Amino acid sequence: MKKKYIDNFYNTTIKLKEYEVFALTLPITLLHKDMFNKNEHFFKTTYDLLHSDISVLASLYFNKNALSPTELYDATLFSSGGMTKVLKKLEDRKLIEKIPSLNDKRSMLISLTNDGETLIKECMESLVESKEKLFNILTQKEKKDLQKILAKVIYSMI
């Protein structure tokens, strides 16, 4: 989006009371779109992976233990069909492995392999660097306030 359209948005649209909420939603949408597109390009060119692949690896990494496919659906917001394809691709690349559940012998859990853990750590380090550049315009207090506000909104969706 070009600056002149953003200026127009802030100078006209959100001044109308009925459209005031767009002062919250449009910036979030633009941030998401920009970050998603840049991340997708980075993941594809650097690792030949999609955002969905990285999302599964990150969910496993940050949960610090094996998850069932159902838990991964919940953690990543995929459909079961989409998840099956992602898991197959990651397993073929030896980034994840299926292990038997200790609680249910009929069930399998998904776990990161050492290669998967190494790759997701590398991805996270690269992402941290690029995201810190994006948010460097904010003070530490503004960053903390934004974190609290976004967490409040996210939890209200549950």
Please check whether residue 140 lies inside any domain of the structure.
yes
Domain count, the chain: 1
Please check whether residue 27 lies inside any domain of the structure.
yes
- Other beta carbons within 10 angstroms of residue 42's beta carbon come to 17
Range of the domain at 133: 21-156
CA 12 vs. chain centroid, Å, equals: 32
Give the chain's largest Cα–Cα span.
61
CATH assignment at residue 105 = 1.10.10.10
3-state secondary structure of 49: coil
Please check whether residue 137 lies inside any domain of the structure.
yes
Q: State if pTM tops 0.95.
A: no
Which DSSP symbol is given to 107?
A: -
Please check whether residue 66 lies inside any domain of the structure.
yes
Hunting for tokens 């073929």 — which residue is that?
Answer: 92
Let me know if 91 is exposed, middle or buried by CB neighbors in 10 A (0-12, 13-18, 19+).
middle
Please check whether residue 4 lies inside any domain of the structure.
no
Please check whether residue 68 lies inside any domain of the structure.
yes
Please check whether residue 13 lies inside any domain of the structure.
no
Token reading at 41:
């390009």
CB 51 within 8 A of CB 77: no
Q: For residues 67 and 73, what is the distance between their CA atoms, to the nearest angstrom?
A: 10
pLDDT per residue rounded down to tens, the chain (158 residues): 789 988 988 888 878 888 888 989 999 999 999 999 999 999 999 999 999 999 999 999 999 889 988 888 888 876 667 888 999 999 999 999 999 988 887 889 999 999 999 999 999 999 998 899 999 999 999 999 999 999 999 999 98
Please check whether residue 12 lies inside any domain of the structure.
no
